[in-house]
Amino acid sequence: MEEQYMKRALELAEQGMGKTAPNPMVGAVILKDGRIIGEGFHKAYGESHAEVNAVKNASESVEGATLYVNLEPCSHYGKTPPCAELIIQKRIKRVVIGTLDPNPLVEGKGIAMLVKAGVSVTVGVMEAECKKLNEVFFYYIKTEKPYVVLKTAMSLDGKIAAVTGKSKWITGEEAREDVHRLRNRYAGIMTGVSTVIKDDPQLTCRLTGGKNPKRIILDSRLRIPLHSKVLQDQVNNQTILATTEQADPEARRRLEDAGVKVLVLHEKDQRVDLQDLMVRLGAMGIDSILLEGGAELNAAAVEQGILQKYIAYTAPMILGGGSSRTPVGGMGVQSPDQAQSLTFESVEQIGKDMKMTAYFKDR
């Protein structure tokens, strides 16, 4: 029974996907005499919290009711007043919580406030699901760096392009649409300048009602052509170029004059130091990034340890070719016991393709 209402809270929370960042997705359900009398979720960053919306939407008095919420109610004055205070004020009798809020401003203080006021509190219902829904928030609030998801698309024999370099299309329409769901979900999308020069992509989210990710282009020498699509349709400065001191100052000035945000970063092996970049992007409020890079950028991301999750789409076709590109290039390791190891989370079929999701080990 408890799980049924927590599941509903999670469903509501998910409706805020792509809009709450860097805040978590939160949903709340109010139950009285065995009936749901109110529901709500955190709709967008800066707007009212899930509990506030659920109370506002309640069809009758919430006094004596039970509230189900996937994250500990907050105890701090942020953009909104504390939810724990509202719960106490409205005389809600019991609160069922999925998981603690790791935000240092909250971290158990919400629960302490409730318990002190005599509200009965249960914690840990569907905890694993609640943590997973907000895995980005949990990572970002602790590290202040974006949660980075590597996405690749390959043939069953592990190639990302034919010998000619042609890659349109390996995965089917459904898998490609799924990628747009990822672009809606994560705050930023990152790729290298060679991909921009070769494919001239838009790097937008083409889902109706979806949100465009901020575009982050790695370009250590500022080689990006001014007519690239990613520089043409900039809304609110959405393209960020990550470069180094080696870049031509004149090229930098031209780009900045065109309204592009240019970040000058430390160098690592003659390229942008990705850890430095993560610190800078985190400070800009970017909590998550989808990496859609080529083989060399993907290799650098693995080597520099910025990745948390890997989503690999695999198409039922064989491309062959000893020199055809694979998802991760670089120098590789000398022996399988030196490999970067991951843990599989799931495999699902999307149209004709398979989607494999794996997590990198905690570092």
155 appears as a binding residue in the annotation: no
Nearer CB in complex with ligand AOF: 21/222? 21
Q: How many residues bind ligand AOF (CB under 6 A)?
A: 17
Report helix, strand or coil for 257. Answer: helix
Q: Of the candidates 8, 49, 159, 309, which one interacts with Zn ion according to CB under 5 A? A: 49
- 178 is a contact residue toward ligand AOF (CB under 6 A): no
DSSP 30-43: EEETTEEEEEEE--
Q: Compute the half-sphere exposure of residue 84: CA atoms within 13 Å on the CB side of its CA.
A: 26
Nearer CB in complex with Zn ion: 49/109? 49
298 appears as a binding residue in the annotation: yes
CA 184 to chain centroid: 9
Query: Which partner in Zn ion, ligand AOF, none is near 23 (CB below 5 to 8 A by kind)?
Result: ligand AOF
Neighbour tally for 22: CB within 10 Å: 17
Per CB under 5 A, contacts with Zn ion among 65-94 are 74, 83
Nearer CB in complex with ligand AOF: 53/167? 53
Report helix, strand or coil for 233. Answer: coil
Q: Of the candidates 78, 165, 321, 332, which one interacts with ligand AOF according to CB under 6 A? A: 78
- 109 is a contact residue toward Zn ion (CB under 5 A): no
157 Cβ contact partners less than 8 Å away, ≥ 6 residues apart: 318, 319, 320
Active site residue 3: no
Nearer CB in complex with ligand AOF: 12/315? 12
Q: Of the candidates 9, 21, 62, 74, which one interacts with ligand AOF according to CB under 6 A? A: 74
Beta-sheet pairing, 35-41 with 27-32: antiparallel
- Burial readout 27-58 (b: 16 or more C-beta within 10 A, e: otherwise): bbbbbbeeebbbbbbbbeeeebbbbbbbbeeb
- Structure-block tokens of residue 280: 């800078």
- Helix 50-57 × helix 2-14 angle, to 10°: 110
- 109 is a contact residue toward ligand AOF (CB under 6 A): no
Residue 176 parent element (H or E): helix 173-185
- 42 is a contact residue toward Zn ion (CB under 5 A): no
103 appears as a binding residue in the annotation: no
Q: How far is the CB of 98 from Zn ion (least distance, A)?
A: 14
Catalytic residue among 51, 144, 245, 345: 51
Write the interaction track for ligand AOF spanning residues 84-103; mark x where CB under 6 A is met and - where it is not.
-----------------x-x
CB 158 within 8 A of CB 122: no
287 Cβ contact partners less than 8 Å away, ≥ 6 residues apart: 21, 22, 136, 137, 140, 146, 147, 187
- 39 is a contact residue toward ligand AOF (CB under 6 A): no
Q: Of the candidates 50, 241, 281, 290, which one interacts with ligand AOF according to CB under 6 A? A: 50
Q: How many residues bind Zn ion (CB under 5 A)?
A: 3
223 appears as a binding residue in the annotation: no
- 51 is a contact residue toward ligand AOF (CB under 6 A): yes
Q: What is the binding site for ligand AOF (CB under 6 A)?
A: 23-24, 26, 42, 49-51, 71, 73-74, 78-80, 83, 101, 103, 106
